[in-house]
Amino acid sequence: MRVDVVSIFPAYLEPLGLSLLGRAQRLGLLEVHVHDLRGWTEDRHRTVDDTPAGGGAGMVMLPEPWGRALDAVRRGEGPEGPVGSAVPARAEDGAADDDPVLVVPSPSGRRLDQRLVRELAGEPRLVVACGRYEGVDERVLVDAAARYRVLPLSLGDYVLNGGEVAALAVVEAVGRLLPGVVGNPTSLVEESHEDGLLENPAYTRPPVWRGQAVPDVLLSGHHGEVARWRRQEGLRRTARRRPDLLNALVAADPSALDAAE
Ligand SMILES: COc1ccc2nc(C(=O)O)sc2c1
């Protein structure tokens, strides 16, 4: 997978070069290019924003730098020309399904969840446009729809200062699902949200720590009992902390909780 991120704060995305994602890039499992939007400005002050039409507080990001940036990135280019692996040119009568997904972090976006993460992990290419200020001029997203599948996306019902933190979250959540990135793929299956529930509490050594003992069943060696306990604890935790997930699971499959008996 190739990921291109455009931001006025490219340094914000440096953590993508660390740990598992950094290793994935070195192994060629993931390709990440971060571009400075100001590379597509043409004025002396490298201006990227202006006052909101209709008045109001804050600033809105100008359309022209974004238009130039998204045109170039669609062709696999940065401000100075081609970057990274070759990107297939868009056929004039190309199918929209072949267009890359343009993730646009926004408080007004679709809420990110593991199902959407899994969908995005199947894409050959993602482009992430990180807004700042009060957001990007809406005409940029309309114009981009001619050559991208535009996906406004939110991390949750709260507001950040810009799209970069959301970009980090999306690229990490998607990148870790790519084959070969995480050492033990089984660990991906036993995680919160993979089966619609929260995962069970985890324990390790020592058997007793500050007066708290590891639950006996986990030390029993009975794998069936351990699996049952973990499922029940996951359900219990979900019921306590995220009843909405439990309701959604049962609504989708009324027998979903039977296995926990
Ligand atoms: C202007 O760009 C922004 C501003 C706030 C914001 N908040 C997000 C969130 O997912 O909470 S994404 C995002 C993008």
Does residue 182 sit within a domain?
Answer: no
Residue 50 lies in a domain: yes
The band of 260, judged by pLDDT with boundaries at 50, 70 and 90, is low
Distance CA 221, CA 218 (A): 7
pLDDT at 54 over 90: yes
Average pLDDT over residues 79-92: 92
In a domain, 113, yes or no: yes
Q: How far apart are CA 198 and CA 200, in angstroms?
A: 7
Q: Identify the DSSP state of 179.
A: T
Q: pLDDT tens across 195-204, in order?
A: 889 999 999 9
Interval 121-167: pLDDT, tens? 999 999 999 999 999 999 999 999 999 999 999 999 999 999 999 99
What is the per-residue pLDDT for 29? 97
Whether 135 and 216 map to the same domain: the answer is no
Q: What pLDDT, on a 0 to 100 scale, did the predictor assign at position 192?
A: 82
87: number of Cβ within 10 Å: 18
Atom of ligand 1 lying closest to residue 131 CA: 2
Q: What is the mean pLDDT of the chain?
A: 95
At 5-31, the pLDDT tens digits run 999 999 999 999 999 999 999 999 999
Q: What is the CATH number of the domain that holds 243?
A: 1.10.1270.20
Assess whether 205 and 107 both reside in one domain.
Answer: no
What's the CA gap between 133 and 139, in Å, rounded? 16
pLDDT tier, 113 (very low <50, low <70, confident <90, very high otherwise): very high
Domain final residue, candidates 175, 204, 233: 175
107 lines ligand 1 (CB under 6 A): yes
Confirm whether pTM is higher than 0.90: yes
How are beta strands 125-129 and 2-7 bridged, if at all?
parallel
Q: List alpha helices for 104-257, DSSP H.
A: 114-121, 138-144, 164-175, 186-189, 223-241, 243-252
On whether both 124 and 252 belong to a single domain, the answer is no
CATH number of the domain enclosing 116: 3.40.1280.10
Residue 185 lies in a domain: no
Give me the domain span that covers residue 46: 2-175
Pocket test for ligand 1, best of 106, 153, 161 (most atoms within 8 A of CB): 106
> Same domain, yes or no, for 34 and 121?
yes
More confident residue, 195 or 49: 49
Together in a domain, 74 and 148:
yes
Q: In what order do the strands lie in the sheet with 31-36?
A: 31-36, 2-7, 125-129, 101-111, 149-154
Among 175, 206, 225, which residue terminates a domain?
175
Residue 83 lies in a domain: yes
78 lies in the same domain as 196:
no
Whole-number Å distance, alpha carbon 113 to ligand 1 midpoint, is 16
Query: Does residue 128 belong to any structural domain of this protein?
Result: yes
Regarding whether 219 and 167 lie in a shared domain, the answer is no
CA of residue 62 relative to chain centroid, distance = 25
Is the distance from CB of 49 to CB of 43 less than 8 angstroms? no
Among 175, 200, 218, which residue terminates a domain? Answer: 175
Q: What is the pLDDT of residue 261?
A: 56
Note the pLDDT of residue 95. Answer: 80
State whether 161 and 250 are in the same domain.
no
Atom number of ligand 1 nearest to Cα 112:
10
> Does residue 183 lie in a domain region?
no
Mutating to test ligand 1, I would choose from 37, 130, 160, 171 the residue with most ligand atoms within 8 A of its C-beta, which is: 160
How many angstroms does the Cα of residue 245 sit away from the middle of ligand 1? 24
Same domain as 26, residue 149: yes
With bands split at pLDDT 50, 70 and 90, how would you rate the model's confidence at 91? confident
At residue 257, the pLDDT reads: 79
- Work out how many domains the chain is built from and give that number: 2
Q: How far is the CA of 173 from the centre of ligand 1 (A)?
A: 17
Substitution candidate for ligand 1 out of 59, 116, 159, 164 with most atoms within 8 A of CB: 159
Please answer whether residues 177 and 121 qualify as being in contact, where contact means their C-beta atoms are separated by less than 8 angstroms. Answer: yes
- Shared domain check, 82 and 170: yes
CA 168 to each of CA 68, 146, 194, 243: distance values in angstroms, whole numbers, following the listed order: 23, 26, 20, 28
**Who's near 58: CB < 8 A, 6+ residues apart?**
52, 133, 134
Residue 180 counted as domain residue: no
Q: Is the pLDDT of residue 112 over 80?
A: yes
Nearest CA to ligand 1 atom 11: 159
Q: What is the pLDDT of residues 195-241, one digit of tens each?
A: 889 999 999 999 999 999 999 999 999 999 999 999 999 999 999 99
Q: Does residue 215 sit in the same domain as residue 115? A: no
Alpha carbon distance 173, 127 (integer Å): 15
CB of residue 105 inside a 6 A radius of ligand 1? yes
Q: Say if residues 108 and 157 touch (Cβ distance below 8 Å).
A: no
How many whole angstroms from 132 Cα to the centroid of ligand 1? Answer: 8
Kindly state whether residues 162 and 248 are assigned to the same domain.
Answer: no
